[in-house]
Every structure is written in C-alpha cells, then in structure tokens.
Homo-oligomer: A and B are copies of this chain.
Amino acid sequence: MQSNANSVNIGSATSDKKPYHHGDLRLALVENGMRLIETSDANHLSLREVARETGVSAAAVYRHFPDKAALMLALANEGMVRLGAAQRTATAGAGGGWDGFVASGVAYVRFAADNPALFRLVFSYVPPISLLDASLEQVGSAMRDLREDIQKLMPAHLTEAERKIAALHAWALVHGLAELILDGHVARDWAVIEKVVGGATPQLEARSSE
C-alpha cells in the first residue's frame, strides 16, 4: 500500500520541497503544519502555507478539511496531546509528589517557550463555542484531561473547593509565566522560573505576619 513511487506532483517538479507521496494527505498536512508552527516565530499560520510546505495545491486541503478552522483544530489537538505528554513525562521523571507537581508546571512553561506559536494556537483554538461541535470534542477532552491531571497532583488533604481554587492558581501561574515569556516580558531564566513555580508564595507569609 505504501508505495513511494507514484508522486502526485510529476508536472510541477520544480519545487525543491519534499514532495507528498500518495498515502495519507491529511496526516501529511498535519505533520507539515506542526513542523511549520514549531519553526515559525510568527503566530499566524495560513492554510496556503501548509499546503505549499506539503507540496500540494491549496484546494487539495479541502478534500480533507471542511475549512481552515478544521485544519487548525487538528493542529491544536496534536499540540494539546504533546503538551500533556510533556507534562506527564516531567512528572514521572521527578518521581511524583510535590517535585512532580513542580516539574509538571515547569514543563508547561518550557513547552510554551519551545513552541510559542503552537502553544498560542492550542489555547486560542480549543474552546470557541466548545461542546457543540463533534470535532471539538476530542480537543475539549484533551483539555479536560489536562485540568484533571493538575487536580490529581494537588495535595490530598484539601477539600474539593480548595482543590479547585488551588488547581486554578497553579494553572494560571504557569500559564502567565508562559505568556509573559512569549511576549518577552520575562526572561527564559529557568532557575528563576523553577523558583517561582516551586517556591513558596508570599501570600501566606504576608497574611500570617499581618
């Protein structure tokens, strides 16, 4: 099945881009889109660019995706999956517990720093009108997994309400760090970032000394 002989672009062989060989164009589009969005510094990815990179006409994309949003959603979904994987790897690597929790947070920030455009795509494309559309479901569920992963890592002695607040605090903290780094307001200083994510926050101290 996976013969690599019958190239589609025999006619337009001038392109030096790696030509797409018959097989799964949908997959090739997503792969090339991911490569583009990992590489690119701009935070705008166009359908034509993905098609161009894949060595295929823009119209060909419409055989596999109803519109641009659907293509972007596929990329966002893949990004979401990778972000989750990076976090889980980090948690496991740190041996769980508090260190694992911190490692997971740092991994979140590092993922953003390493994949700026992808990170932004994930969070801007995931939940627009959310639950109605079926294709959004899988992305939505990846996002839900991420939230639940955070909650699972919370200290066990907290009440449900406390866990919710604490999880949101943790998420917002790493998300804010990520965004500030991407916008250039905060340096990629991992020693500092680890301290911020893992360190004690001043709030408790301030309260107790009030």
Binding site for B on A (CB under 8 A): 97-98, 101, 123-124, 126-128, 130, 143, 154-155, 157-158, 162, 164-166, 168-180, 183-186, 192, 195-196, 198-207, 209-210
Contact = CB atoms under 8 A, between A and B. Distances in A.
A203 B154 CA distance: 9
B192 A199 contact: no
A155 B97 contact: no
Contact of A203 (B157, B168, B175, B199): B199
A171 B175 CA distance: 11
A10 B98 CA distance: 70
Number of copies: 2
A72 to B, nearest CB: 14
A206 B176 contact: no
A168 B186 contact: yes
A174 to B, nearest CB: 7
A113 to B, nearest CB: 13
Given A166-B201, A199-B169, A202-B162, A185 B128 contact: no
B196 A204 contact: no
A155 B206 contact: yes
Contacts of A205: 155, 157-158, 204
Nearest 10 A/B pairs, CB to CB: A176-B176, A172-B176, A175-B176, A166-B202, A155-B206, A201-B201, A172-B177, A204-B204, A127-B184, A200-B204
